[in-house]
């Protein structure tokens, strides 16, 4: 049975979700997360994708994007393919890293955009037990780009 075609709209934002296979953490170290963020940044420039918000969790990622002139599939392929090769090399393993192809949700209106961005930025609440005082202290999210302009990475618009 062939795959179902993706829901796409080149004029609307998309919420992208990528999950690791069940038995693996997608990010074992902070360096892994830094590498993935660098891939997002470089791929966004190459493929003309606007990053609206993002959050990297231990076993999955959320990226809210606007395709502008770019191709979402090429953008995600560049990130996930390069990251899987990096991960397998650094952590001395072989095989698949992602459980399935990325999931994308087309954002239909401003309310859904705000809800998705809020959801993405609240994701690190699950990690507060690791010593982060608040979601703003979590360094692998775009929340500081919104709450403390100039103190975040400047990746998200």
What would the pLDDT profile of 8-62 be if each residue is shown by its tens digit? 778 899 999 999 998 899 999 999 999 999 999 999 999 999 999 999 999 999 9
Tell me the pTM. Answer: 0.92
Residue carrying the six token digits 């990622």: 61
Q: Is the pLDDT of residue 78 over 90?
A: yes
Measure the CA–CA gap between 110 and 76, rounded to whole angstroms: 24
Is-contact 61 26, C-beta < 8 A?
A: yes
Residue pLDDT, tens place only, 83-115: 999 999 999 999 999 998 899 999 999 999 999
Q: For the chain, give the number of residues.
A: 157
């Amino acid at each position: 049975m062939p795959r179902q075609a993706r829901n796409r709209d080149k004029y609307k934002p998309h919420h992208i979700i990528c999950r690791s296979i069940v038995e693996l953490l997608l990010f074992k170290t902070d360096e892994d997360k830094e590498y993935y963020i660098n891939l997002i940044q470089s791929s966004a420039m190459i493929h003309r994708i606007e990053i609206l918000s993002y959050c990297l969790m231990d076993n999955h990622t959320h990226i809210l994007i606007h395709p502008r002139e770019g191709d979402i599939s090429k953008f995600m392929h560049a990130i996930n393919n390069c990251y899987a090769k990096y991960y397998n090399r650094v952590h001395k393993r072989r095989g698949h890293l992602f459980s399935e192809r990325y999931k994308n949700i087309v954002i239909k209106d401003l309310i859904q955009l705000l809800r998705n961005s809020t959801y993405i930025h609240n994701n690190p609440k699950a990690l507060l037990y690791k010593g982060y005082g608040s979601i703003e202290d979590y360094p692998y999210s775009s929340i500081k780009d919104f709450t403390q302009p100039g103190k975040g990475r400047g990746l998200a618009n």
